[in-house]
Amino acid sequence: MTAGEVRALARECGFELAGVAEALPLPELSRYHDWVARGMAGQMRYLTDRRAAVRDDPRNLLPEARSIVCVGKLYNTPQPLSTGFSDIERGWISRYAWGDDYHVSMRAGLERLRARVEAAAGKPIRSKICVDTAPLLERSYARLAGLGWIGKNTCLIHQGAGSWFFLGELLVSIEIAPDRPPPDRCGTCRRCIDACPTAAIVPVPQAGRWEVDSRLCISYLTIELAGAIPDQQRAGVGPHIFGCDICQDVCPWNRRAPVSTDPAFAGRHFAPPLERLAAIGESEFRHMFRGTPVTRARYRGFLRNVAVAMGNARREAFRRPLEKLAAHDDPLVAEHARWALER
């Protein structure tokens, strides 16, 4: 079986990008461990606990693995970019979370691909499906598989289609001739670096490259961080209530990015009104965002984010809903609402 045949099978399964990498440890593995050692992962313990060592070798996930089939699923939608959105009464949700939870659709597509690869191989194979929750450095393997290069914002960028892609992998026990990584085409561009409100894209000393300090990233602050958002970062969060797209919105390679026709990624709750969100109860939150990635922030974290966005909007109309949040039973929500009232 060739990588070209794998790409054809992947297209049949709904993936716009596909390629093959060897199931071997990555040459740049030390960069990951260095990034973790410097505390850049923040409170994301799944990146720093025992699973960090599992990421050293894909054969820790499937001992028989010989090749990694890497796929990309387009999720771009026609709604406006966050950088062109100015309605201060609404909160911004990252584009990837507007529709259904991608884990479900990605896994379903990879299940179909697994069946097709096994049929094409003409014999039973051992395999394992990974969709970002597995301890695998998937962007690096996707680069080796030819899906794109890693940009300064650490997103995988495809020359013709940009960076609005979900990634997934199929580890297989058969050898497939690997693809080659494309050249880095970011050049001297630094639009993502300059546009980041919290300066989360930082230089690596003496290395001539850039990385993301998660502790400063709006996506980390609004999704992964369980406790209080540091005071000095709250203003930079702006209207964001779940994730951030700014570094992708300003990327020149996304100017002509294609739009997905998959209804699963159509916006259910595109930029919902902040005042409405401040008033929802926990059961309504679960119902409103059921089946989407937004529930990852959990109810208390979501209300925390809503309060910060209201404070950053500085609208007098938000005083009453913020006063109610300031009396919330949860100390985390109440403290952020008090901060917002001071604004």
What 3-state DSSP class applies to 129? strand
Of the candidates 310, 184, 319, 303, the residue with the CA atom closest to the CA atom of residue 253 = 184
Burial class, 290, CB count within 10 angstroms (exposed 0-12 / middle 13-18 / buried 19+): exposed
Active site residue 132: yes
Catalytic residue among 56, 57, 100, 132: 132
Other CB atoms within a 10 A radius of the CB of residue 22 amount to 19
DSSP 271: S
Angstrom distance (rounded) from CA 106 to CA 131:
7
Query: How far is the C-alpha of 273 from the C-alpha of 277, rounded, in Å?
Result: 6
Q: How far apart are CA 218 and CA 242, in angstroms?
A: 8
Q: Which helix (H) or strand (E) holds 337?
A: helix 331-342
Q: Tell me the catalytic residues.
A: 132
